[in-house]
Structure 1
Amino acid sequence: MLNLVLFGPPGAGKGTQSEKLIEKYQLVHISTGDLFRAHIKGQTELGQQVSQIIADGNLVPDSITIAMLEEEIKKNPQAKGFIFDGFPRTVGQAEALDAFMASIGEEISGVVALDVTEEELTQRIAKRQEISGRADDAADKLKKRIEEYFSKTIHVLPYYEGQGKLSKVNGIGDIDTIFASLTAVVDSYKA
């Protein structure tokens, strides 16, 4: 089974590249952002909690996020693999994900980090916000999310680097060029 973590700050292109990876490798996409938005839209109890946490610009607690991920994985027993988008964001989450994957006889095959400058991120998210109107793209929330990534989330990379599972790909440029770089890395995980 091919299990990937696609890593990068808000606006790095994780969603765009995930779609292409899913199609090529027939993976099940698990995006914590999509899970959160689905619960918010469905106005579930969890969605109401998550809505307030996100509105405040904070990260959703590990316990809520991990429970949702486990539920999604269990819904797909015939999957060829999974691509995790937006998770893990802390070393604690990475450890919990590894423990859960081990409990079902699996592991993370590799972690691909999309490298994008802060200037490029700001431009991309401003454009995305104009198009989608997503509340989590508002300027003040965006700044907080990018700061959160560079101050906290980025520390997950050494965890995977220590396992020999981390690869970095330049996330600036043509979408198809970035995808070609990504597939070269993913194919090396399958070898």
Structure 2
Amino acid sequence: MEQHRTRPPQPRSRRPAPLPPQAGGAGDRTGSGTVYRAASRSGRPVPPVALTLRRGLLAARRAVEAVRAMPNPRLTGLGSGLFAAAAMLVLASLDRLLLDGSMVAFGLLFLPVSALTAFWVRPADLVTAPVGVPIAFAVGLLPIAGGSDGFGGHVMGLVTALAIHAGWLYGGTLVAGLIVTVRKVKLMARKRAARDAARGARPPHRRVPAA
């Protein structure tokens, strides 16, 4: 009898699993390009103009925070004038001792004193700030105005200093006037908003028909 040859069962061939798309393939071109651009952008050096602008913004923010952290008193009209005069007299004395009476330093110090006077005066006496600031400038000129001996000589020296350095006087008065104007406008807007809110909160008045 013939014997049939038997072959051992052969394992079935399995299909290979699909490979993941490569980074440079067509399906991932957009993602790899974006990552590459982001990496290239982050590696570029920042131009000096941007650094200077960023530092200026940080300095301005710190200055605003410092101004907000300062005390915020409310002075009367007389108090604000006395504050400005006393501050300018002290600063002029220090200017004479340290800088030999420099008018440039005195004028530069007069501007922030004018601003603080306009900020610290109470809302009811806003008009007095631009009036008291020039008086404070004249009082501060007494130690550094110079002039000959005698009362008349000091008066002439004061008048001459006021005439020569009137630009600083006008500048400080303008700063105080602008600040006072802005504060006045804001105060009027707040009063108007409060008045409108009070009117809106009131119930509508209904007329009772006559019998």
TM-score range with shorter-chain normalisation? 0.3 to 0.5
Say which structure is richer in helix.
2
Larger radius of gyration: 2
Structure 2-normalised TM-score? 0.30
Higher normalized contact order (CA 8 Å, seq sep 6+, divided by chain length):
1
Say which structure is richer in strand.
1
